[in-house]
Structure 1
Amino acid sequence: MQFSTAVRQHFEQLTRAQKALARHIADHSEDAAFATAKQIGEAVGQSDAAVVRFARAIGYDGFPQMRNALREGLLERVGASGMRAATEGLAVGENLKADIFNSDAALLQDTARQNSVALADRVVDRLIAARRIWITGHGTTYPLAVMLSLHLNQILGNSEVLTIGHGDIADRIRHVEADDVLIGIGYARYLPYTIDLMRIARSYGAGIVAITDKPSSPLAEIADDTFIVGRESSTFAWWSQAGTLSLINWLVALAMTRNGAKASAMLRRSDEAWRLLSHWSSADESSGAASLASQLDDRLRSPEGASQPLQANIASPIPSGIAKEQFHEVEQAPRRRAKRQ
């Protein structure tokens, strides 16, 4: 709920001191959006506890929720560049370092609190059973969509990023089917491209999962299942994606352990392909570092790991009769022909 709306709805019930707080915050909303409760209280001669009581009096759960509403309002008015300007000079050196790391730690806790194990289990089971997984995100959420898709591809092999950036979006989204799952990632300000792709996929019968910042977001309204990511952050790193990154790690780990046999097989195929492509350096080979597949095997065999036994690995993508030297000979042949020409 917007701050101005909250104040208007409750103004007549406020005390004289609370009305003074309301006027001060409204007149200095850009500063208040990045101030502590103590700083706001001192500006009007009141305590930080009085500021917290004021936030609750106008309908918020507490001060952080009120400050988050002020930040969202500022973002809507001035955009990202204005948000950046509003934070200049607030913290430097060790204070900035502590601010960022403490804020990210709080975001992780907030994200964990808002999402249940039952929700994650249900969504991951749908991902494992899906014919294909589509992930969409635009703007600052685009790299998050890429990261989630990359890791799901590592262990499931059927994930693809779906954005308007390719120029052939109509030709690509028509391949979405009823036994697919589409995951949309988006926060305020919600980009219409993500919302539109989610809506179209839903009309095709696909399952829809949202990763967003509040239950009332337009992404959540479309989705069958919604993950809420903590977004209330520090006075500087209001854009932090720490909660989203941690959520992605959780979903990928769940997919590994709940689909252990296939995940292990897929990782081994990737390891073999990278090895034949000389991806690993000699230092990697001699260090004895465990591959992802080996680490997953160890996890699944442990008492805390998944109880499902691992099955035999599926075939390597390179025929077993081809030695590494032969693979390089095939790979280098076109280059030698090009040089002769």
Structure 2
Amino acid sequence: MTDSPAARLQQLFEGHRLTPTQRRIAHSMVRRAADVPFLSSVELAQVAGVSQPSVTRFAVALGFDGYPALRRHLREVVPPGDAPAGADLNEYQQAVGAEIENLRRLGEILADPAPVIRAARLLAASRPLPVLGLRAAAAQARGFAYFAGKVHPDVRLLDEGGSLLADRIDDARHSGATALLCFALPRHPREVVEALGWARDAGLTVITVADSAFAPVAAASDLLIPAAVGTGLSFDTACAPMLLGRVLLEAMCDELPDAQARLEEFDARAVARGLFAE
């Protein structure tokens, strides 16, 4: 229910980049929505299983001077007697609902397909095609590279940082790469921002899938397409960035004349090798 105490608390947390510990506090507050305005910082810390200073830092992260100011605000948001209704969604259902909303927003963005088509043309034309994603974004980059390798002749996955990352970007450029695809998700590693700067200095066109058009990687990207992440659980959920990656793959297939032939060839090899159980 939109007007439930839990939903009002959830709205308070939206738009803030919280650490896993702070999200644990937020989840505990949502579960105890009717009681939390009357808990001391020590009591809330006990409920959430964190330290009292963590509760204070949490309040400051939300923009309050301290926990007393947050508690005063909570008493306005969740007034006495306004207990959660039995039909309220639990925190897991709320996380699913938030992801559905992220996908809806992505659908609105894709109403104009021009950025995706432009990105697909640049990516399809790059030989090789480096795909970058570190830490939280490594899974997105790896998934994209796996499928892209079935239709693109030379995909190079860059999912490990360190001193060799710049070398690998240079190697791709010297081998003929003209574009780089980056998946950038919170929390944004400084190394990714630096790597995109190296890529652009090397002459690569940087296409980025990021959680926001205002992400730290935006200034180092030539074309950024946003896809929001879910922040309702202790760790971000990235359904929209994953789907956007698949959309880019679909558009790439339209730009690669031999994509279908390569897929059919792979299927034939897979059958001959008995690669899949079905």
User: In structure 2, what is the equivalent of residue 201 of structure 1?
Assistant: 199
How far apart, in 2, do the equivalents of 1:184 and 1:37 lie?
Answer: 39
Q: By percentage of residues, which structure has more helix? A: 1
What is the RMSD computed on CA atoms of the aligned residues?
3.1
User: In structure 1, what is the equivalent of residue 274 of structure 2?
Assistant: 278
How far apart, in 1, do the equivalents of 2:197 and 2:3 lie?
Answer: 40
Distance 1:238 1:169, change over 3 A: closer
The residue identity in structure 1 corresponding to 2:99 is D
How far apart, in 1, do the equivalents of 2:98 and 2:234 lie?
Answer: 8
The number of residue pairs the alignment matches comes to: 219
Question: Which secondary structure state, in structure 2, belongs to the residue aligned with residue 174 of structure 1?
Answer: helix
TM-score (norm 2): 0.68
User: In structure 2, what is the equivalent of residue 157 of structure 1?
Assistant: 153
Question: Which secondary structure state, in structure 2, belongs to the residue aligned with residue 227 of structure 1?
Answer: strand
1:1-341 pair list within 5 angstroms: 39=5, 67-69=13-15, 71-72=16-17, 75=18, 79-88=19-28, 90=30, 95-115=90-110, 116-165=112-161, 168-177=164-173, 179-231=177-229, 233=230, 235-236=232-233, 239-259=236-256, 261-281=257-277, 284=278
The residue identity in structure 1 corresponding to 2:14 is N
The C-alpha deviation readout for 1:51-77, integer Å capped at 9, x for no partner, is xxxxxxxxxxxx96x7433x22xx2xx
The residue identity in structure 2 corresponding to 1:118 is A
Question: Which secondary structure state, in structure 2, belongs to the residue aligned with residue 154 of structure 1?
Answer: coil
Detail structure 1 runs of 4+ shifted over 6 Å in the superposition.
Answer: 40-43
Question: Which secondary structure state, in structure 1, belongs to the residue aligned with residue 149 of structure 2?
Answer: helix
Question: Which secondary structure state, in structure 2, belongs to the residue aligned with residue 198 of structure 1?
Answer: helix
Residue ranges of structure 1 left out of the alignment (5+ in a row): 1-35, 44-62, 285-341
How far apart, in 2, do the equivalents of 1:181 and 1:150 lie?
Answer: 18
Residue ranges of structure 2 left out of the alignment (5+ in a row): 33-87
The C-alpha deviation readout for 1:6-63, integer Å capped at 9, x for no partner, is xxxxxxxxxxxxxxxxxxxxxxxxxxxxxx77649989xxxxxxxxxxxxxxxxxxx9
The residue identity in structure 2 corresponding to 1:106 is E
How far apart, in 2, do the equivalents of 1:98 and 1:243 lie?
Answer: 17
Q: Is the 8 A contact 2:210 2:225 kept in 1?
A: yes
The residue identity in structure 2 corresponding to 1:103 is A
Distance 1:276 1:189, change over 3 A: same
How far apart, in 2, do the equivalents of 1:136 and 1:118 lie?
Answer: 23
Q: Is the 8 A contact 1:183 1:210 kept in 2?
A: yes
The C-alpha deviation readout for 1:213-268, integer Å capped at 9, x for no partner, is 2222221111110011123x464366110111111121112222343x41111112
Question: Which secondary structure state, in structure 1, belongs to the residue aligned with residue 251 of structure 2?
Answer: helix
How far apart, in 2, do the equivalents of 1:167 and 1:222 lie?
Answer: 19
Structure number with greater CO (CA < 8 Å, separation at least 6) is: 2
How far apart, in 2, do the equivalents of 1:246 and 1:68 lie?
Answer: 22
Question: Which secondary structure state, in structure 1, belongs to the residue aligned with residue 95 of structure 2?
Answer: helix
Q: Is the 8 A contact 1:176 1:201 kept in 2?
A: no
Distance 1:189 1:125, change over 3 A: same
How far apart, in 2, do the equivalents of 1:138 and 1:88 lie?
Answer: 30
TM-score (norm 1): 0.56
Of stretches 160-169 and 189-198 in structure 1, the one that deviates more from structure 2 is 160-169
Q: Is the 8 A contact 1:157 1:266 kept in 2?
A: no
